[in-house]
Amino acid sequence: MSNGIGTDKKFAIGVDYGTNSARALVVDLADGTELASCVANYPTGDLGIILDPAQPTLARQSPRDYVECFYASVAEAVKMALDAPASASGRFAPERVAGIGVDTTGSSPIPVDREGVPLAFQAKYENVPAANAWLWKDHTSIAEADAITQRVYEMQNGYLDNCGGIYSSEWYWAKIWHCLRENPEVFDAAFSWVEISDFVPAFITGNLDPMTLARGVCPAGHKALWSAAHGGLPSAEFLASLEPRLVPFREHYAPTTKTADQVAGYLTAEVAAKTGLVPGIPVAVGAFDCHMGAVGAGVGAGALVKIMGTSTCDITTLPLESELGAIPGVCGVVPGSVLPDAYGIEAGQSAVGDIFRWFERSLAPAKYTEGGRTLFDLEKDVLTLEPGESGLLALDWNNGNRCVLVDTALTGALIGTTLSTTAAETYRALIEGTAYGARAIVDRLESCNVAVNEIVVCGGIAEKSPATMQIYADVLNRPLKIARSSQTCALGASLFGAVAGGAFANIYDAQRNTVGFKDQVYRPDANSASIYEKLYRNYMKLHDAFGVKNSNVELYSVMKDLIAIRDSVRDSKRSR
């Protein structure tokens, strides 16, 4: 370790803002031991999400929840760490914290006033959905995203070359533009829009000024079209061609962006008092959860990290000196967004765990859900089935397709159902559908000369669902490692806090000290992989037929192929 801030500063805190809650983690930097972890659920809305039955694609959150849940989760984690046994670095103490890191969902921008205070903090806007944070899964701005994509190609400015070629309704500019149409009063009241990952570090360090707060390269590059090669944010000319009233939001933005290993500011006395910490602790620049989660899972060149939760983010990196062309359909290729000296490459699926939760809430028989039972109990029946035995094939687009089609207007599908189709067969088909979507992303990366030599999985699904992990290993036909930490996002955030605070010379040193893998590795079964290869080809027929305009894909054979595969598997199973 570096002794740049004193040799006794051996701990760090990472705060992970997910879709439904915030989690604080206290880490011993000597070996990655996690001393304490505390979750605070967002109190506002449905599981922390502000919904509107009249607009099923609307998803907002209260920024006040972000503040209160920081206080609650960090304060409790600090108390727990104080009571924890001594670890490799000895006893925890607040003055021994080297730094704090923050990761969040995204793109989840908040409209703020000139002082950087969220409009939702004002009484007149508190209950106005448009004045709150626009959560990543808000898809109300499909029309605006399509218009942005079209204008980029009309002007041939290359803004989408490193964003997969298509702008998404999940992203920054589309949401701001849609706000003008949804609620002009809120649009006019906003001086700027700030991503959660920038807002939280700004709030706890006392610098909310939109013109000077630290804007992370991660949210700016992946969601706001920021690029050093293009001179920063999209030009005033481009924004004016969309809507002239967008131009001021370009001007009300810090002129530079920062990587997550840099200092955003220092913890204020007020926040320190409410959390049991000491003032002046360095706070790192924020980034998105999947990017910091990848760091906490050991991402590097050739290693793809899958963060599996309500949605899935796939992250890999390439050294900046690598020759890298366009990768159609990914979420972004941004220098410094994951590791400071590498291209950060992001892809992912808009719904994975959300699909399983939808099945549990809406379709699963009561015997699988009553009495405190969960879908993990259904896995016992899922594991009695073999690949192809159900005759089913699912498209995993229940919340649109993030990659590689980048089309939020797409929907899910289940093909091959009969009157004898069971809940276990349906659930397994949904798992398989998400695995096929994951395979499509890996295939796209490799077709664009991005090597995927190993895959590391982290998140709740990786921890709790062996059936899902084995299905993924068979579909991908690759071994799957599981990250040692069950809190890789918070761990990654804590490591950036440690680097910003000088406890390590760089993020690689921090990873070497703290990151590891579980002993269990999910390895593909050769027979299952061969059957899934046939099923995947049929998945891709559906994928292209529904997702690619003028694809000319022939679907006549799909249902018949599924029946043939089903009958072959069942015959083989009976003969054993």
Partner residues linked to 160 by β-bridges: none
Give backbone dihedrals phi and psi of 480, rounded to 5 degrees, phi first.
-120, 120
**302 shares a domain with 190:** no
3 in a domain, yes or no? no
- The answer to whether 558 and 541 have CB atoms below 8 angstroms apart is yes
368, 425: one domain? yes
Residue 346 lies in a domain: no
Residue 79: its H or E element: helix 63-83
Distances (CA, A) of 569 to 135, 410, 430, 432, 575: 43, 31, 19, 16, 10
| Dihedral sign for Cα atoms in the order 143, 148, 154, 160 | negative
* CA dist., res. 362 & res. 378, Å (int): 15
For 469, which DSSP code? H
Range 385-394 burial, b when 16+ CB lie within 10 A, else e: bbbbbbbbbb
Same domain, 139 and 271: yes
Residue 209's SS3 state is: coil
Q: How far apart are CA 245 and CA 231, in angstroms?
A: 21
End-of-domain residue from the set 498, 516, 534: 516
CA distance 162 to 67: 33
Neighbours of 306 (CB within 10 A): 31
Task: Give yes or no: residues 32 and 52 share one domain.
Answer: yes
DSSP assignment, residue 286? P
Same domain, 453 and 499: no
Rg (Cα) of the chain, in Å, rounded? 23
Reference 493, options 34, 2, 9; nearest CA is: 34
Lookup result for tokens 């659930």: 427
> Is residue 84 in some structural domain?
yes
- Domain assignment present for residue 4? The answer is no
Beta strands per DSSP E along 360-423 = 393-395, 413-415
The tokens describing 270, both together, are 């007020």
CB 356 within 8 A of CB 396: no
C-alpha distances in angstroms, 67 versus 40, 133, 143, 270? 11, 13, 32, 12
Regarding whether 119 and 51 lie in a shared domain, the answer is yes
Q: Contact 357/314 with Cβ under 8 angstroms?
A: no
Q: Are residues 268 and 303 in the same domain?
A: no
Q: Residues 206, 212, 218, CA angle at the centre, nearest 5°?
A: 95
How high is the pLDDT of residue 163?
84
- Written as one letter, the residue type at 553 is V
Q: Are residues 392 and 495 located together in one domain of the fold? A: no
Residue recorded with tokens 């703290």 = 514
β-strands 109-112, 480-483 pairing: unpaired
Strands (E), 268-311: 282-284, 287-288, 303-308
Q: How many CB atoms lie within 10 A of CB 150?
A: 12
Range of the domain at 412: 298-337+351-484+525-576
CA distance 394 to 396: 6
Q: Give the Cα separation of 416 and 390 in Å (integer).
A: 8
Pick from 311, 344, 320: nearest CA to 330:
344
Residue 342 placed within a domain: no
CA proximity to 233, closest of 221, 219, 245: 221
Beta strand 480-483 pairing with 454-458: parallel
Residue 155 resides in a domain: yes
DSSP, collapsed to helix, strand or coil, labels residue 345 as strand
Distance CA 321, CA 342 (A): 8
Averages of pLDDT over runs of 10 residues in the chain (576 residues) are 57 96 97 97 97 95 98 98 96 98 97 98 96 96 96 96 87 98 98 98 98 98 94 97 98 96 98 98 97 96 92 93 88 94 94 94 88 78 95 96 89 97 96 98 96 93 93 98 95 98 96 95 98 98 95 93 96 92
Is residue 456 located within the same domain as residue 511?
no
**Contacts by 64-68 with C-beta closer than 8 Å and gap 24+?**
64/118, 64/120, 64/121, 66/17, 66/22, 66/133, 66/196, 66/199, 66/200, 66/203, 67/203, 68/40, 68/43
Task: Answer whether residue 355 is part of any domain.
Answer: yes
> Tell me, what CATH number does 421's domain have?
3.30.420.40
pTM of the full structure = 0.88
Q: Where are the alpha helices (DSSP H) in 488-557?
A: 488-500, 507-514, 526-547
Q: Read off the amino acid at residue 180.
A: L
Same domain, yes or no, for 304 and 440?
yes
Total domains, the chain: 2
- Stated as kind and residue range, the H or E segment containing 563 is helix 558-574
For residue 560, the tally of other CB atoms under 10 A from its CB is 10
Q: Does 210 fall in a domain?
A: yes
263, 285 in Cβ contact below 8 A? yes
Assess whether 221 and 234 both reside in one domain.
yes
SS3 of residue 105 by DSSP: coil
**Residue 326 has what pLDDT?**
83
Check the CA dihedral 458-459-463-469 and report its sign: negative
